[in-house]
Amino acid sequence: MSQDSHRRKKVQICSTSPGYPVYCPKCNSTNVLIFYDPRFTPRLQTKWDNMIDEKRILLENRWEKIKNENRWGKSEKDSEKPNWICKDCYDGGIIVEQPIDKKIAEEFQKYEKTFTDNSQPLYWNGHAQKVTLKKIHDYANTGECSVVLIAVTRQPYNSDRFPEYRISLQDVVKTDTIYYGWWPDTKNNKVEYDRLYTINSTEKNESQRHVNLHDYMNDGLAQKMALIIDKDGKWHIQNNEKL
């Protein structure tokens, strides 16, 4: 062992935990560490901590993007980005700011050409990542019990009002756990773009209350139905008794 090795100083790496699942774009693992390079401007850390808390981030692992966004010593002042690494597949990169509505719009573009009125419904989580109904059930953490999936939207054929629906969910339902869905409207030969959330009670009166709760957001139209999701991901429709 050389004498120089005794003189090396340990570099302090500052990491942060977002408090919600962050998914690796390569392997979809949630075993992801977000950290700040020692060269990161300290006063900018609060700004990024806030964006991470508000889920306004995207894990970027494309090399060309990383080179352009985070060039230490060459990039614009105060433009550095936090870093991340996946402890399962060891992929990594930088954290970039991207509003969730832009992220979901980009996701929608991937599927709009192939999604038809014969397609099965699709769902995404609040990070604009595709999820199954079984995953939605698991995230609700109800064990063996079923959960109810409620749409805030009613017959929306674009995503322009998604920010408005999100604010309504936060104010009225007091939840930040939001899902996005595509549902084939076979009657009108269109695709419905839905904002959804879950409730843990399958009691009929409670689910009835929720399907009628958001009519003021939809020109007085209540929801036609809710989805009851079982632990294995199978589902059935509960129709709105008032329609």
The vertex-96 CA angle with 12 and 140, nearest 5°, equals: 95
pTM: 0.62
240, burial (CB in 10 Å: exposed 0-12, middle 13-18, buried 19+): middle
pLDDT, position 54: 73
Residues of the chain with pLDDT under 50: 1-3, 5
Main-chain phi, psi angles of 16, to 5 degrees: -140, 145
Decide: helix, strand or coil at residue 4: helix
pLDDT, position 223: 92
Best CA proximity match to 61, nearest among 87, 35, 24? 24
Domain-by-domain residue ranges, the chain? Answer: 11-97, 100-239
pLDDT, position 11: 56
Best CA proximity match to 158, nearest among 216, 237, 219, 104? 104
* Contact between residue 95 and residue 71 where contact means Cβ atoms under 8 Å apart: no
Best CA proximity match to 28, nearest among 108, 88, 83? 88
Give the Å distances, CA to CA, from 54 to 15, 49, 154, 217, 239: 17, 9, 26, 24, 34
Residue 83: beta bridge partners?
Answer: 35, 94
CA distance 23 to 5: 37
Q: Is 82 left (phi over 0), alpha (psi -120 to 50) or beta?
A: beta
As a whole number of Å, the end-to-end CA separation of the chain is 79
Q: DSSP characters for 34-83?
A: EEE-TTS-HHHHHHHHHHHHTT-EEEE--HHHHHHH--TTTSPTT----E
Cα 207 from chain centroid (whole Å): 24
